[in-house]
Structure 1
Amino acid sequence: MTNSPTRPVALITGASRGIGRAIALRLAAAHDLVLVARDGEHLASVARDCEASGARVQTLALDVRDGQATVAALTGLHVDVLVNNAGVAVMKPFLEMTAEEWNRQVDVNVNALYHVTQALLPGMVQRGRGHVCIIGSTAGRNTFVGGTCYTGTKHFVMGFAESLMLEVRDAGVGVSVITPGSVATELFPEGTNTTWMLEPANIADAVAFAVTAPPHMLVHRLEVRPLSPKRPRSSF
């Protein structure tokens, strides 16, 4: 996919499961895809599902925490839409958090944004079009006990996204940040009641809305919430 394709190409990080998988399936009808995650086996499964919708799919088994490997794998790819979705969360009091847990969240939620975006954004700017979409969180504008690192990384996402938007909009590149509330994924511990939460497909719909807006229109910040934690989805 190094040459100009007939359909726009979307690259999605963290694409092997959860929200990333849902985004890939949602975009597959109109985009060719580059799917990135550490788990090559799960990526292959997602790729088959996306190909059934008509997408050409390239998979990259890649740890986006590794800056050198990321630059080597992504530099030169033709990508029209970048979805920075990869993320991790460790919810525990600060005094109980290990250095490894802290650094892992910062590496995935913050530093990987640099590695991936730095590799692909120059091509968008050169072509005069493109879209960078980042999956943030409502934790990027609030706080809670046990969220010292996670909410810090999501606050970073909000500042990064808005600053980047102002830098590249005159070059024809849009920057969006999708901020979900609670989503029923593996992020939550086993036994958590997720029946009231958003589904990954809801976030995929929000991404599709943002990245397929008319060229003169930018959906920069889109917050998506469950209607009520007191009402399961099945009650609607």
Structure 2
Amino acid sequence: MKIGPETTALVTGGDSGIGFGIAQAFVQRGARVVIAGLSEEALAEAANQLGGRVSTAVLDIRDREGWAQLAERLWADGGIDVLVNNAGVGYLTPALETSFEQWDWLIDIDLTGTFNGVRSIVPRMLRTGSPGRIVSTASIGGLLAAPGSVYAAAKAGVIGFMEALQTELWDTQIGVTILVPGIVRSNIANGLLPPGESQGVQPGGAGLDVLYQEPMEPKEVGERVIRAIQNDALYVVTHAEHGPLLQRRFDAIRRAVPLETPPEARAAVERMVLEHPIYDAVRARIEEGE
């Protein structure tokens, strides 16, 4: 999918951090961008910094009526081509110290908020019959055993949801990209706090001065996302150093697979349910040298 002046993108959480970097990359290619966030003041400041054809929308991604109203507004103005589900919160307290209320709060924002965006916007994108893209921000914590198991559960949910969604949309012109960032300079540690908390919790007890010694900049993430959209890529893993760590996980999973020959009838059913073309498409591009 080509990104240019004819493209319109909606970026939730576009007023800071990764969302701002993604919005910036769209703007630099002449695209029209709508950034959504919680604070009208922060959105206005971000729009001023971004320049270009940027408009704003106050939106809590948990608010389904708010999503419906935004969808009406967007399509009254011509619709969008790219939905970027980026808004989210970081909460890294261990599971046994997390209350039920805090679990519900985090899942409602980081996972259900992504579903709300897809369910509210994508049917309208499909009705246009034009090429489009859904980008959703997960986390390397959704693939590796990073600190914060509740956060990891939400982000792993985003990954599973988006992969399965791509299979559901396979015969349409709407593609899916899953953003899996590592440590990126952002305001997530200073964002919303869950019920009952007065301060954030850092990964492994580390402070931001440690985590941000060499963070990736949001602008670089934004450029990687644009390239992924243009290349019809399923995944964006931002950090090269994650490669060996991911391989260890994949090896552990592969090692757990039984080595015996399965009954053909049972195997045929499993293939029918699980053998989807999304991974074959990635393999084909690798073999073509992309």
Structure 2 length-normalised TM: 0.69
* 1:64–1:112 CA contact under 8 A, matched in 2: yes
Q: Identity of aligned pairs, percent?
A: 29
Q: CA deviation at 1:43?
A: 0.6
Partner in structure 2 of residue 187 of structure 1: 188
Q: CA deviation at 1:60?
A: 0.7
Partner in structure 2 of residue 211 of structure 1: 229
> Residue type of the partner of 1:174?
G
Q: CA deviation at 1:192?
A: 3.2
Partner in structure 2 of residue 154 of structure 1: 155
Question: Paired residue for 1:61, among 33, 58, 61?
Answer: 58
Say how many residue pairs are matched. Answer: 216
> Which deviates more, 32-41 or 56-65?
56-65
Partner in structure 1 of residue 48 of structure 2: 48
Distance 2:42 2:21 in 1: 13
Question: 1:199 and 2:217 equivalent?
Answer: yes
Alignment of 1:1-236 (within 5 A): 7-29=6-28, 30-51=30-51, 54=52, 56-75=53-72, 77=75, 78-128=79-129, 129-145=131-147, 147-188=148-189, 189=202, 191-193=208-210, 194-213=212-231, 218-225=232-239, 227=241
Distance 2:81 2:180 in 1: 21
Q: CA deviation at 1:74?
A: 1.9
Partner in structure 2 of residue 234 of structure 1: none
Report the structure number with the largest CA radius of gyration: 2
Q: CA deviation at 1:160?
A: 0.7
> For 1:50-107, what per-residue CA distance to the aligned partner results, in whole angstroms no more than 9, with x for missing partners?
23xx3x2221111111112222222453010011101111111222223343222111
2:135 partner SS: strand
Q: CA deviation at 1:191?
A: 4.0
Q: CA deviation at 1:167?
A: 1.2
Q: CA deviation at 1:226?
A: 6.1
Structure 1 length-normalised TM: 0.84
> For 1:4-47, what per-residue CA distance to the aligned partner results, in whole angstroms no more than 9, with x for missing partners?
xx621000001111111111111112210111000111111111
> For 1:112-132, what per-residue CA distance to the aligned partner results, in whole angstroms no more than 9, with x for missing partners?
112111111112212232100
Distance 2:49 2:185 in 1: 21
Structure 2, unmatched stretches of 5+, are: 190-201, 243-290
> Residue type of the partner of 1:86?
A
> Which deviates more, 117-126 or 69-78?
69-78
* 1:37–1:62 CA contact under 8 A, matched in 2: yes
Partner in structure 1 of residue 264 of structure 2: none
RMSD: 2.0
* 1:196–1:226 CA contact under 8 A, matched in 2: no
> For 1:142-201, what per-residue CA distance to the aligned partner results, in whole angstroms no more than 9, with x for missing partners?
1234x2210001111111111111111311111000111111222345543212221211
Distance 1:143 1:164 in 2: 24
2:171 partner SS: helix
> Residue type of the partner of 2:81?
D
Structure 1, unmatched stretches of 5+, are: 1-5, 229-236
Moved over 6 A (4+): none
Question: Normalized per residue, which structure has more helix?
Answer: 2
* 1:9–1:81 CA contact under 8 A, matched in 2: yes
* 2:94–2:150 CA contact under 8 A, matched in 1: no
